[in-house]
Amino acid sequence: MLQNTTSVPDKHGKFGPYGGQFVPETLMPAIEELIQAYDDARNDPAFMAEFDYLLKSYVGRPSPISHAKRLSAALGGAQIYLKREDLNHSGAHKINNALGQALLAKRMGKQRIVAETGAGQHGVGSATACALLGLECIVYMGSVDIARQQPNVYRMKLLGAEVVPVESGSKTLKDAINEAIRDWVTNVDSTHYLLGSVLGPHPYPMMVRDFQSIIGIEAREQLLNEVGRLPDTIIACVGGGSNAMGIFHAFREDEAVDLIGVEAGGEGIASGKHAARFADLAISRIGVLHGTKSYVMQTPDGQIMETHSISAGLDYPSVGPEHALLRDQERAGYTYATDEEALAAFQTLCKTEGIIPALESSHAMAEAIKRAPTMRPDQIILVNLSGRGDKDLDTVMRALAL
């Protein structure tokens, strides 16, 4: 079931000073329509039942939690549990939101879906959901990302999606979003924009969070049932921030639970080649990108900066507005892991637990590996293992020169 009992966002889509609806007029009516349609849908038991049924029978939910025993023992501190979103059909948490929005699009009578993708996981999730529901799917993907995530490009094509390479700007996720929005504004009557993270104009940050909140709802119940207590710390990687919001949301009232988001530290903060929006406030300031107000990596003149991460899914210059609010409220803390640390964590998880994690999720693992030894063996760290790493094998092989 979805949860939406929090006080944010307000009816204008504001998360405190963040969020909002900064889009061209042409899109405003479509956004109003979407707000209404989503509100109707989430209050319609039949819609929710269909969504729940697909999550169970098609995605394979609930995804299990795994106790990483060998890793925990090797680190000699807290017990690490993994929320296994990597075991979802199509390989990541992205499918939760893709299915929810595709169902909503169908309900709205929109037969054409456009989506952006960075790592390709959201593109694959969208293509999968569209194949399942019989919708046309166009995925915009930066040409740089296409080169580094080839397996996912093949998957999307096999699933019947059209993958459109984006050559503008930095040729990565932010440019793919620009192109998806340009398509949406041009074909707004027939088309739903299936945005893949807690970004963009209201209602997307709220709606995507709600569709992903199943992660935390399940994990909370699973830990209570299987271990008998809540975790001390929850760790998730943050690109746009949908898997993190998804696992954080159910724990927001559990004040004893530390919520930690891990951004992409790239080649290190000093290098300037990273996507750590909260770590480098010299170049990351409050701004507006892709319809929402949040922290944005930008030049002094307000031009959006190119970011760097070994993981395409974290390579984005802004961050979901609700994360900015959680950070202001000190309800969540944010840190970063470098490319090197993520790669090391990737290998560690492969060897100690027999799990190949996505490079994105490896950032969260890196933080867990840093923290566990500083905690007691009776404490618990819950890591959102947001996706599997099959898509990253080429990148990892090259980086490790294997």
Partner 1 sequence: MTNTFETKNGRSHIAAAFAQAQETQSAALMPYFTLGFPDRATSLDVVEAIAPYSDLIELGVPFSDPLADGPTIQRSTQIALENGTTTADCLAMVRELRLRGVDKPFLLMGYYNPILAYGIETYVRDAAAAGADGFIVPDLPPEEADEFEQAAQAADLVLIPFLAPTSNPERIATIAPKAQGFIYLVSVAGVTGARSQVQSDLGEFVARVREYARVPLAVGFGIGTPEQAAKVGALADGVIVGSALVSVADKAEAKSEAAGAFVASLQAGLKKG
Does position 324 interact with partner 1 (CB under 8 A)? The reply is: no
Closer of 57 and 299 to partner 1 (Cβ): 299
Other Cβ atoms less than 10 A from the Cβ of 285: the count is 13
Q: How far is the CB of 182 from partner 1 (least distance, A)?
A: 5
Q: What stretches of 134-280 show up as alpha helix (H) in DSSP?
A: 143-148, 150-158, 173-186, 204-212, 214-226, 242-248
Binding-site member from 40, 44, 109, 186 for partner 1 (CB under 8 A): 186
Closer of 31 and 146 to partner 1 (Cβ): 31
Closer of 141 and 345 to partner 1 (Cβ): 141
* Cβ–Cβ under 8 Å, residues 153 and 120: yes
Binding-site member from 105, 217, 304, 381 for partner 1 (CB under 8 A): 304
Choose the catalytic residue: 14, 83, 94, 293: 94
- CA-CA distances (angstroms) from residue 193 to 113, 134, 184, 331, 355? 6, 16, 6, 31, 33
- CB proximity list for 129: less than 8 A, separation 6 or greater: 95, 98, 99, 101, 102, 103, 135, 194
Beta pairing partners, 233: 258, 381
Does position 181 interact with partner 1 (CB under 8 A)? The reply is: yes
Provide the 8-state DSSP code for 110: -
Spell out, one character per residue from 11 to 50, where the chain touches partner 1: x when CB under 8 A holds, - when not: -x-------xxxxxxxxxxx-x------------------
Binding-site member from 64, 169, 268, 272 for partner 1 (CB under 8 A): 169
Q: Give yes or no: 94 in active site.
A: yes
Q: Give yes or no: 116 in active site.
A: yes
Q: Give yes or no: 167 in active site.
A: no
Does position 290 interact with partner 1 (CB under 8 A)? The reply is: yes
**Separation between Cα atoms, residue 274 and residue 279, nearest integer Å:** 10
> Which positions touch partner 1 (CB under 8 A)?
12, 20-30, 32, 168-169, 174-175, 178, 181-182, 185-189, 285-291, 296, 298-304
- Residues classed as catalytic: 94, 116, 386
